A and B are shown apart, each in its own frame.
Chain A
């Protein structure tokens, strides 16, 4: 389409037109390109990052890299000691935490209730029995404490509550969401597991933006085991953190090879995370693309207008250049080059802003949404595609108006005739 000579002449003309035109207008167009780039990458990146933040929270606070759970028809993981032994003897495993899981009831106002007409402050929830040290090693659960302290290994009759069990953190007036009222650190609540009731002191309150944690209550594993009347050491779930350089699927394969899947369901984080997160991610991606497309169209129209005005005001000189032998394609290419320079400079600045400033900043200071710590997600491949789209659209936006003007009759252009 273009020979080397045409490209050289087009560059010669396009480059000089760029550097010798108004720096303010150049700056303005580049700014529009940067904003368009940010619109393309950041809007969808934040929308996806919102969900990615929630997903990351589930991984950090609950599932870790691999989670082993009971089979659907069972109420616990059979042969848990054997499975734990396999986990402990797998070198790729960095740490693990085994949780006893049962349902139970928490009651807050059992002492103050003056008559039986008053609603009891009672919630049914999942109670997890944990080894506090192991749990913290895997999930860093202590970091999510918003009040009080976390459990110690010998903390009998002490309980840590998820924030969504408490009215002050989940102020929803709905029969479906029962919460405990007037709970603070040191409050006593009654814990009922299979008819076995103990009075416990609230030692801490957790808020992790992970429903699985925030709707649970935690006590030490030995006490839960005794309240459940369990002496077989069979746990309800095991979250496993693997070495940073290991592939979860490979480690999962090791467990399956050792027969863990006969007694339990083994899932990587990707498999075990809530599926609605994937659906929302897709929806937000689409939403981000729609918003970005509008921005892209605005940028394309802006470049179109700028190049059109530029070409129409230079119509006489375009005619003269055609008269002295510059062919139309070379002139069109000179305008495409100008558009490309705008798009490329805008993209480079945009890439710098996104990867050097915004992503590190948002990673360090996640956006505090009610259900997630939002981050900015901008995978290189996806960003590269968006850069390519921006460049192609901008080149077209430069090409079309220049073609309209350049195709006009040479003499009419020189003489300014229509």
Chain B
């Protein structure tokens, strides 16, 4: 399996006036194509910050990141936006659905950005929502959906355009156990079909269901645990 993400010496330091707060202190991490990686650690360990660097939502203070063979830190903002559109999908902790778009319209948005006609994009979005068991919620606004339903819509939006990698930041943190299970199963199903997923979580139970766990502590990789040896061999 080839590496789809190669990150070396990632440093992230937040500066507020004269105060510098190092959050990542030289992290080296690779993610293989088709891998389901979970990043774990205590609160403040730097796991979300690491995911933001890998997913092009933030720029590290130092280090190198290659995603799907592209040196992403050499891209300008416009190119990064395009790269995110073409290669990456996101599932956020608080669902992050656009409030004035219906479930179907939220899911269709990445397709529209690719220039797919609106009617076709909405049809595809409805199909996707059907697959995720949300056939009755396609016309609902986010405010009319439960937390679990919103997160499933968020996953649908992330995968509708078949991105190379899905980044998922604490996708179950705001959900009850039943809804969390549905979302984790959904991500596992996607991974079984070959989808690369990087998930930040603090829940050991869900981390154990991924292929590999990288544990962060104080801005450094503390340990690495391979769960699915067969796959990552």
Residues of A within 8 A of B (CB): 5, 8-9, 12-13, 16-17, 20-21, 314, 316-317, 320-328, 409-411, 414
Task: Report yes or no: B112 in contact with A324, Cβ–Cβ below 8 A.
Answer: no
Whether A324 and B57, one on each chain, are in contact in the complex, defined by CB atoms closer than 8 angstroms, is no
Question: What is the CB-to-nearest-CB distance from A343 to chain B, in angstroms, rounded to a whole number?
Answer: 21
Please tell me if the beta carbons of B109 and A16 are within 8 angstroms of each other in the complex. Answer: no
Nearest 7 CB-CB pairs, A to B?
Answer: A325-B85, A20-B100, A320-B96, A5-B115, A411-B57, A411-B58, A327-B81
Check: B41 CB closer than 8 A to any chain A CB: no
Give every chain B residue within 8 A of A325 (Cβ-Cβ). Answer: 81-82, 84-86, 110, 113
Which B residues fall within an 8 A CB radius of A?
52, 57-58, 77-78, 81-82, 84-86, 89-90, 92, 96, 98-101, 105, 109-110, 112-113, 115, 118, 141, 157
* Min CB–CB distance B45 → chain A (angstroms): 17
Residue in A8, A21, A324, A411 whose CB lies within 8 Å of B100? A21
Residue among B92, B98, B115 making CB contact with A321, cutoff 8 Å: B98
Contact B113 A323 (CB under 8 A): no
Q: Is the CB of A9 within 8 A of B112?
A: yes
Residue of A nearest to B95 (CB): A320
Q: Which residues of A contact B99 (CB under 8 A)?
A: 314, 317
- Beyond the given pairs A314-B99, A320-B96, A414-B96, 14 more chain A to chain B contacts, judged by CB atoms under 8 angstroms and listed by A's residue number, are A9-B113, A16-B101, A20-B141, A317-B98, A320-B90, A320-B92, A321-B98, A324-B85, A324-B89, A324-B109, A325-B110, A327-B82, A409-B58, A411-B58
Which of A5, A316, A410 is B57 in contact with, Cβ under 8 Å? A410
Complex contacts, B52 vs chain A, CB 8 Å: 411
Cα–Cα, bound, A323→B78 (Å): 11
Contacts of B85 in A (CB 8 A): 324-325
Provide the main secondary structure of the chain B interface.
helix
CA gap between A193 and B214 in the complex, in Å? 117
Q: Which residue of A lies closest to B121 (CB)?
A: A12
B100 near A320 (CB under 8 angstroms)? no
Complex Cα spacing A321 to B99, Å: 11
Nearest B residue to A317 via CB reads B98
What's the nearest-Cβ distance from chain B to residue A149, in Å? 72
Bound together, the chains give a CA A12 to CA B101 distance in angstroms of 9
Min Cβ gap A8→B in Å is 7
> Chain A nearest CB: distance from B44 CB in Å?
14
CA distance A316 to B78 in the complex (A): 19
Given the interface contacts A17-B100, A20-B100, does A5 sit within 8 Å of B92 by beta carbon? no
Whether A326 touches B90, Cβ cut-off 8 Å, given contacts A16-B100, A410-B57, A414-B57, is: no
Q: Which residues of B contact A320 (CB under 8 A)?
A: 90, 92, 96, 98
Q: What separation, in Å, do the CA atoms of A320 and B167 have in the docked complex?
A: 13
B41 to chain A, nearest CB (A): 18
Point out the residues of chain A lying under 8 angstroms from B86, CB to CB. Answer: 325
Contact B118 A12 (CB under 8 A): yes
Q: Are B105 and A323 in contact (CB under 8 A)?
A: no
Q: Chain B nearest CB: distance from A335 CB in Å?
A: 13
- Bound-complex Cα distance A17 to B86 (A): 25
B81 near A12 (CB under 8 angstroms)? Answer: no
Give Cα distance in the complex from A323 to B113, angstroms: 12
User: CB distance A324 to B90 under 8 Å?
Assistant: yes
Contacts A/B (CB < 8 Å), 26 sampled:
A12-B112, A16-B100, A16-B101, A16-B105, A17-B100, A21-B100, A314-B99, A317-B96, A317-B98, A320-B90, A320-B92, A321-B98, A322-B81, A323-B57, A324-B84, A324-B157, A325-B82, A325-B110, A326-B113, A327-B78, A327-B82, A328-B77, A328-B81, A411-B52, A414-B57, A414-B96
Q: Which residues of B contact A317 (CB under 8 A)?
A: 96, 98-99
Instruction: Please report the C-alpha to C-alpha distance between residue A26 and residue B147 in the assembled complex, in whole angstroms.
Output: 29
**CB distance B109 to A326 under 8 Å?**
yes
Task: Specify the chain A residue showing the minimal Cβ separation from B87.
Answer: A325
Instruction: Please give me the residue from chain A that is nearest to B55 by CB atom.
Output: A323
Most buried by B among A12, A316, A325: A325
Q: What B residues does A409 contact at CB under 8 A?
A: 58
Complex: A325 Cα to B141 Cα, angstroms:
21
Residues of B near A321 (CB, < 8 A) are 98, 109
Minimum Cβ distance to chain A for residue B61 (Å): 14
A21 vs B143: C-alpha distance when bound (angstroms): 13
Contacts of B101 in A (CB 8 A): 13, 16
Q: How far is the CA of A209 from the CA of B118 in the complex (A)?
A: 64
Instruction: Give, as a whole number of angstroms, the nearest-CB distance from B161 to chain A.
Output: 9
Contacts of B105 in A (CB 8 A): 12, 16
- B14 to A, closest residue via Cβ: A417
Chain B proximity of A188: nearest CB distance (Å): 83
Asked whether A8 lies within 8 Å of B118 as measured between CB atoms, the reply is yes
Q: Which residues of A contact B118 (CB under 8 A)?
A: 8, 12
Q: Which residues of A contact B89 (CB under 8 A)?
A: 324
How many whole Å from B225's CB to the nearest CB in chain A?
A: 28
Q: Nearest Cβ in chain B — how far from A321, in angstroms?
A: 7
Q: How far is the CB of B16 from chain A (nearest CB, A)?
A: 10
Residues of A within 8 A of B113 (CB): 5, 9, 324-326
Q: Smallest distance from the beta carbon of B96 to chain A beta carbons, Å?
A: 4
Task: With CB as the reference atom, state the residue of chain A lying closest to B96.
Answer: A320
C-alpha gap A43/B124 in the complex (Å): 54
Minimal beta-carbon separation of B106 from chain A (angstroms): 10
In the bound complex, what is the Cα–Cα distance between A326 and B58 (angstroms)? 16
Quote the shortest CB–CB distance from B12 to chain A (angstroms): 11
Q: What's the least CB distance linking A40 to chain B, in Å? A: 31
Min distance, Cβ A332 to any Cβ of chain B, angstroms: 13
